[in-house]
Structure 1
Amino acid sequence: MREFMVELTTAVPEGTDPAEVDRRRAAEAVRAGELAEQGRLFRLWRPVGEVRSVGIWRADDESDLRSNVLGSLPLWPWMTAAVTPLQPHPNDPGPTG
């Protein structure tokens, strides 16, 4: 599997029922946990003071990432994604703990 850095920004459409937003956010947390267990979601951060998320995701290719991984997120219809394919760096120290 390849790794991708993904910046996700969610914009809830005007007029969306708050109960629907809550339902999707709860389902999003469950789905993120499932993707982490599958090795598809490796790391996820939220920059301080921002509403976007930045993560390291794993997929066979960008099509698989968008269709089968990110596309399975309950909030995906409200998200925009900036996807950057990654490759190993020769000076990568590896996992740090």
Structure 2
Amino acid sequence: MREFLVRITTTVPEGTAPQEADRRRAAEAVRARELAAAGHLARLWRPVGELRSIGVWRAADEEELRAKVLGTLPLAPWMTFEITPLEPHPNDPGDGSAAP
């Protein structure tokens, strides 16, 4: 699987009932756990003081990421996604091969 940096901004449409937004947010948390268990969601952050997310997601390619992963999020109709494909860096200390 490839890794992607995904910046997500969610905008709840004006006039949406608070109960509907709450229902979708609760369903979103469940779906995020499912995607993490399946290996698609590796990490997720929220910048301090902001209502957006930044995450590392995994999929075979960007098409799969959009259609079969991000597209299954309950809040997806209210989200915009900025997707950046990632590749390993030779100096990445996380893979254990970087020179000291």
The TM-score with structure 1 as length reference comes to 0.96
Deviation at 1:94, TM superposition (A): 1.3
The runs of 5 or more residues in structure 2 that have no matched partner are none
In structure 1, the residue matched to 2:31 is: 31
1:49-95, CA deviations, whole angstroms, 9 ceiling, x for partnerless residues? 11110000000100000000000000000000000000000000116
Where has structure 1 moved over 6 Å in runs of 4 or more? none
Answering whether residue 42 of structure 2 is matched by residue 42 of structure 1, we say yes
The runs of 5 or more residues in structure 1 that have no matched partner are none
Distance in 1 (alpha carbons) for counterparts of 2:33 and 2:21: 19
Residue type of the alignment partner of 2:26: A
Rg larger in structure = 2
1:10-40, CA deviations, whole angstroms, 9 ceiling, x for partnerless residues? 0000000111100000000000000000010
Identity of aligned residues (%): 71
Q: Pairwise CA RMSD of aligned residues?
A: 1.1
Distance in 2 (alpha carbons) for counterparts of 1:26 and 1:51: 16
SS of corresponding position for 1:24 = helix
The TM-score with structure 2 as length reference comes to 0.94
Distance in 2 (alpha carbons) for counterparts of 1:95 and 1:33: 25
Answering whether residue 75 of structure 2 is matched by residue 85 of structure 1, we say no
The aligned length equals 96
